């Protein structure tokens, strides 16, 4: 899960010490079954999520999705599901379903409650301008999910 065009992230970026940042790194390392990234720094591993405007412009609008892009999406939403579990002590499950052209859906459920239902387009262009923007998006999704769980706890507990 490394990229030769990696954007440099500061070693002291505050996102790295947040619960979100640490869980994201843990999820990334969990996808490395053969230990190829054991020597890769956390900041370099997270740099695959950074998609600058210049890099985004260089990508085609329509394109096939590679395995690394799908993995990035899965890791991001699995991290959110883990944070939901830690917060509410109920099992959260993420499902990422994409076709080879990059269209699909992401669903996170807690019990029988759907706490996230997101349509995806251009999955090959999945990324964020910075780590802080990525954390902001994760926090927004997390707060909405936790509010839904609070409002519908009987369904979430099924």
For residues 110-131, average pLDDT: 93
Two structure tokens written together for 71: 């993995």
User: Using H for helix, E for strand and C for coil, what is the string for 51-78?
Assistant: CCHHHHHHCCCCCCCCHHHHHHHHHHHH
Q: Containing H/E element for 126?
A: none
Has domain 14-156 been given CATH number 1.10.3100.20? yes
pLDDT at 37: 84
| CA gap 45, 51 in Å, rounded | 13
Q: Which of 24-28, 65-69, 111-115 has the lowest mean pLDDT?
A: 65-69
pLDDT at 32: 86
| CA gap 27, 82 in Å, rounded | 9
What percent of the chain has a predicted confidence (pLDDT) above 90?
59
pLDDT at 7: 59
| CA gap 139, 100 in Å, rounded | 29
What is the value of pTM for the model shown? Answer: 0.88
Indicate if the pLDDT at residue 59 is higher than 80: no
Q: Which of the given ranges, 52-56, 61-65, 111-115, has the highest pLDDT on average?
A: 111-115
pLDDT tens track for 71-107: 999 999 999 999 999 999 999 999 999 998 889 999 9
- pLDDT band (50, 70, 90) for residue 3: very low
Report domain extents, the chain.
Answer: 14-156
Q: Tell me which residue of 115, 117, 111, 114 sits closest to 156, measured CA to CA.
A: 111
């Amino acid at each position: 899960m490394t990229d030769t065009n990696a954007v440099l992230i500061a070693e002291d970026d505050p996102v790295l010490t947040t619960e979100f940042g640490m869980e994201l790194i843990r999820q990334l390392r969990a996808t490395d079954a053969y230990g190829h990234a054991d020597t890769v720094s956390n900041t370099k591993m997270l740099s695959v999520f950074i998609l600058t405007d210049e890099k985004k412009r260089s990508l085609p609008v329509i394109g096939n999705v590679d395995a690394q892009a799908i993995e990035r999406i899965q890791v991001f939403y699995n991290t959110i599901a883990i944070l939901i579990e830690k917060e509410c002590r109920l099992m959260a499950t993420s499902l990422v379903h994409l076709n080879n052209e990059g269209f699909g859906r992401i669903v996170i459920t807690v019990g029988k409650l759907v706490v996230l239902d997101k349509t995806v387009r251009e999955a090959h262009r999945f990324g964020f301008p910075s780590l802080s923007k990525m954390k902001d998006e994760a926090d927004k999704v997390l707060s909405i999910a936790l509010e839904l769980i609070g409002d519908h706890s009987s369904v979430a507990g099924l």
